[in-house]
Amino acid sequence: MLNKLTIILFTLLFGVNVYANDIYIDQVGDSLDLDIVQDGQNNKIGTALVDADFDGDNMTFSITQTGNTNEITADIQGNTYTGTWVFTGNSNTVDLLCDSSANGNCETVTLNITTTGDSNAYTINIGETGDAENATIAFTVTGDNSVINTDVDGTNSDITVTMNNSASLATTSANSDEGNQLDLTQTGNGDSLGHSITLNITGGGSTYTVTQSGIYDNKVNATFNGDSQDVDITQSD
């Protein structure tokens, strides 16, 4: 199955105009190892109308997109997923859903995203009804006007977001019973809009660290519903 999928990707990558690299995938089966490199404008892996669909266990992705207006829209269903995504360029958009199916419940997810460029927007939704038992998500974003929305439903999640830019916005929701760790760091001058973080946490026994620095207003809006929370917030000009 892996060889067949590689041939399809090769054809799609080199059979389209260099300014519109599009890949559409519908994968069913276990032990997928997928490497994608896209270079040019308007790179897409799935769209809002037709997402890239992966259904199986033990999947590993390495995705590199270079250029402007990059887009990934993917739906992953399975027990174990590992992803390394690297973006260079402006107007990058990622919409990832990892949810439950007959083949698994998105139990263990490791996702590393590194981005250099402006106007980046990420929406990451991991787990359903407490399914994600071990979710590790790391964002490193350098550039202006970035927006990150993360929603994890499960236990023992570890989310690290580092944003070095102007006017960044991070929103994180966690719904679990215990063992979550969140580290959010926003640096840079913040532009006239400043930096903003919104936290919506349900469940107890978790640790949250927020650090903001900039010459304009820094804002944290936090809602916690649960016992034994450990929260540290540091803001500086």
In this prediction, residue 63 carries a pLDDT of: 92
Per-residue pLDDT, averaged over 76-88, amounts to: 88
Answer yes or no: is pLDDT of 21 > 70: yes
Answer yes or no: is pLDDT of 190 > 80: no
In this prediction, residue 62 carries a pLDDT of: 93
In this prediction, residue 20 carries a pLDDT of: 64
Domain count, the chain: 1
Residue 11's Cβ-count burial label (10 Å; 0-12, 13-18, 19+) is exposed
- pLDDT-derived band at 12 (thresholds 50, 70, 90) equals very low
Strands (E), 143-180: 147-153, 158-164, 169-175
- pLDDT-derived band at 191 (thresholds 50, 70, 90) equals low
- Print the domain residue range for 16: 2-236
SS3 115: strand
In this prediction, residue 73 carries a pLDDT of: 92
Answer yes or no: is pLDDT of 7 > 60: no
- pLDDT-derived band at 178 (thresholds 50, 70, 90) equals low
183: CB partners within 8 A, 6+ apart:
159, 160, 161, 209
Per-residue pLDDT, averaged over 156-164, amounts to: 78
Residue 234 or residue 206, greater confidence: 234
The rounded mean pLDDT for the chain is 77
Cα angle 120, 133, 110 (rounded to 5 degrees) comes to: 40
- Tell me how far apart the alpha carbons of residues 189 and 176 are, in angstroms, rounded to a whole number: 34
- pLDDT-derived band at 8 (thresholds 50, 70, 90) equals very low
Per-residue pLDDT, averaged over 25-46, amounts to: 87
Q: What percent of the chain has pLDDT over 90?
A: 8
